[in-house]
Amino acid sequence: MQKRYLGNSGLAVSAIGLGCMGLNFGYGPATERGQAIALIRSAFDKGVTFFDTAEVYGPFTNEEVVGEALAPFREQVVIATKFGFATDPQSGKVVGLNSRPDHIRQVVEASLRRLRVEAIDLLYQHRVDPQTPIEDVAGTVKDLIHQGKVKHFGLSEAGVHTIRRAHAVQPVTALQSEYSLFWREPEDEILPTLQELGIGFVPFSPLGKGFLTGAITVDTQFGETDFRNQVPRLSAQARQANQAVVEVLGELAAAKNATRAQVAIAWLLAQKPWIVPIPGTTKLHRLDENLGAAEVALSSGELDALEQAMAGIIFQGDRYPPQFMKMIDR
């Protein structure tokens, strides 16, 4: 697989990464550990060198699985993880935000152990903490970089003002936020700012939490512990209204002898050379499908036609429930 550089940082990663969250968190029961490790190693065998996790996925178990899976290839991969949430010490459940310097240091030490690494390749602030100045956050990560415990600094779901303030203290290598044909808000201010500052962009949910694949219909029933039950944009009523994007993708996919998922990811890759999507999956055949997007080239005419078709679609529903929307920095 071709490599891409995250902005001006010099950090080279596979053009498509693997979001590992769903193996342990968010979409229902955790994948059996051996199967999860096999899937991660299969991704590496197929050319993926960029793997994304976080302390709260599981919680904590996702980092352990990623660390075990990638231990044999440690020097050939880039592992990204995140800090920024406060968790209940008993249950591990998220109870708020916490990016205080002492907490960042504690999280990093624990993540290093779970990931079985001497340094974290890319460390994101998972969500911006309004109670902690971003300058303090960036300064703490800068110290950790000088100590050799972290290599690169990232932000997630940060607004342009926060990005600029953080970047002035410690250069930001990458921003991770949601971006897809299902959610295009980053195009307004985020992408121009990243271009100006030389920061890479790592879109999560590049398939709209599965909706863009066409596998989710009005009749789909999510599992009891699947967080998509809480997503307004994926309510049954919203799915009916938002089905138009699936139809548009289906037409282009048929013409390209590809799948909707592959066209959706290829569209992201075509936006900027410093964009690296991280689709996640628990299934090997979906992994193959997603990575196949790297071989799907969309012409300027196809991109224009897709843009014109998308212009007539008005999506219904927020991408998160209200309590999560409050955690997104504007």
pLDDT tens track for 154-191: 999 999 999 999 999 999 999 999 999 999 999 999 99
Q: How would you class 261 by CB atoms within 10 Å of its CB: exposed for 0-12, middle for 13-18, buried for 19 or more?
A: buried
CATH number at residue 109: 3.20.20.100
Look at residue 249 and tell me if it is in a domain. no
**pTM above 0.85?**
yes
* Pairwise pLDDT comparison (325 vs 208), residue with the higher score: 208
Compute the Cα dihedral for 205, 236, 28, 127 and give only its sign: positive
What's residue 56's pLDDT?
Answer: 95
What is the rounded average pLDDT of the residues 114-121?
Answer: 98
Look at residue 301 and tell me if it is in a domain. no
Look at residue 151 and tell me if it is in a domain. yes
What's residue 285's pLDDT?
Answer: 98
Structural contact between residues 277 and 270, judged by C-beta atoms closer than 8 angstroms: no
User: What domain range includes position 77?
Assistant: 3-208+272-296
As a whole number of angstroms, the distance between CA 153 and CA 203 comes to 16
Look at residue 68 and tell me if it is in a domain. yes
Look at residue 231 and tell me if it is in a domain. no
What is the rounded average pLDDT of the residues 283-295?
Answer: 98
Look at residue 171 and tell me if it is in a domain. yes
- Work out whether strand 200-204 and strand 94-97 pair parallel, antiparallel, or are unpaired: unpaired
Look at residue 71 and tell me if it is in a domain. yes
What is the rounded average pLDDT of the residues 106-130?
Answer: 98
As a whole number of angstroms, the distance between CA 177 and CA 277 comes to 10
What's residue 89's pLDDT?
Answer: 82
The residue annotated as part of the active site, out of 5, 27, 57, 179, is: 57
Structural domain total, the chain? 1
What's residue 179's pLDDT?
Answer: 98
Active site residue 27: no
Look at residue 237 and tell me if it is in a domain. no
What's residue 91's pLDDT?
Answer: 81
| Confidence band, pLDDT 50/70/90 cuts, at residue 330 | confident
